[in-house]
Structure 1
Amino acid sequence: MYKWNEFLTRRADLSKELFDHYWTNVHAPLVMSIPEVKRYTLRYVQQHNTGLVLEGVAAAPYDGVVEVWFEDMADFQAIASSGKWDAALKDVENFADVSKTAVLNTTEEVIYDQ
């Protein structure tokens, strides 16, 4: 299993509410309109920062995390190489500070799954 994790920080001129709204109601439908996304993606999850901070634990400096699951890296590359993917990447600039975006590409090692 191949997983794309993208850590997002909202643009300085956007409130948390506007960031969350745009990401969910504008960006996600754009991403899901790409036929290759529907064909190759197993799971697409947006995690919106709740703002909860635990005492003694540093809070991550991100407003959200995208998790996207694929069967393998070839499936992800099929999406990324589609001409339609560029519009989705460009749209991120409408709600996120791309200079602060971090990406972590991983393979899953399931330790426990109930």
Structure 2
Amino acid sequence: MIKMTMLLKRNPKLTQEEFVKHHIEKHGPLFRQIPEAKDHVIRYLQTHPIKEKSAVIGVNDFDGTAELWFDSVDGLDKVLSSDFYKEKVWPDELTFLDHANTLVMLGYQDDIIGDITELK
């Protein structure tokens, strides 16, 4: 299993509120429709910043994150090279993301605290 973590920057034409609404209400459901995702995506989470600021930690200025777990690199490749992704999902990303300033990392995950089986 591999994890893709994306630190998202919004299209500067959108407000933060417009970006979050689009990401949750349009992009998430659209991504879920990718036929290959049913076979290869294990989990997909979106996170958006809170308004409150911490007194003890500073944060970078990202507009959200997307975390996707895939069964393998091959599975990721199949999802992101699928016709549905290329024809529907990618064009949608271009409307609300600033791809040039969005960061992507592929890796594996080690549970230190909160193994998913412990949280049930």
Same fold (TM over 0.5): yes
C-alpha contact 2:8 2:103 (8 A) present in aligned 1: yes
- Once the two structures are superposed, residues 4-47 of structure 1 have per-residue CA deviations (whole angstroms, 9 ceiling, x without a partner) of 11111112221111111111111112111111112211101111
CA RMSD of aligned residues (A): 1.5
Q: In 2, Cα distance between the equivalents of 1:39 and 1:71?
A: 8
C-alpha contact 2:11 2:96 (8 A) present in aligned 1: yes
SS state of the match for residue 83, structure 2?
coil
Q: Percent identity among equivalent residues?
A: 28
1:85 aligns with 2:85: yes
Q: Structure 1 residues 17-26 or 71-80, which shifts more? A: 71-80
C-alpha contact 2:40 2:72 (8 A) present in aligned 1: no
1:52 aligns with 2:52: yes
Cα distance, 1:89 vs structure 2: 2.0
Q: In 2, Cα distance between the equivalents of 1:103 and 1:51?
A: 24
Query: Which segments of 5 or more consecutive residues in structure 1 lack a partner in the other structure?
Result: none
Runs of 4 or more off by more than 2 Å in structure 1?
Answer: 55-58
Q: What amino acid is aligned across from residue 17 of structure 1 in structure 2?
A: E
Residue 110 of structure 1: aligned partner: 111
Query: Which segments of 5 or more consecutive residues in structure 2 lack a partner in the other structure?
Result: none
C-alpha contact 2:2 2:72 (8 A) present in aligned 1: yes
Q: In 2, Cα distance between the equivalents of 1:81 and 1:20?
A: 25
Q: In 2, Cα distance between the equivalents of 1:89 and 1:4?
A: 16
Count of residues paired in the alignment: 114
SS state of the match for residue 69, structure 1?
strand
SS state of the match for residue 35, structure 1?
coil
Q: In 2, Cα distance between the equivalents of 1:81 and 1:93?
A: 16
Please, what TM-score do these two structures have when normalized by structure 1? 0.89
Residue 12 of structure 1: aligned partner: 12
Residue 2 of structure 1: aligned partner: 2
Q: What amino acid is aligned across from residue 95 of structure 2 in structure 1?
A: N
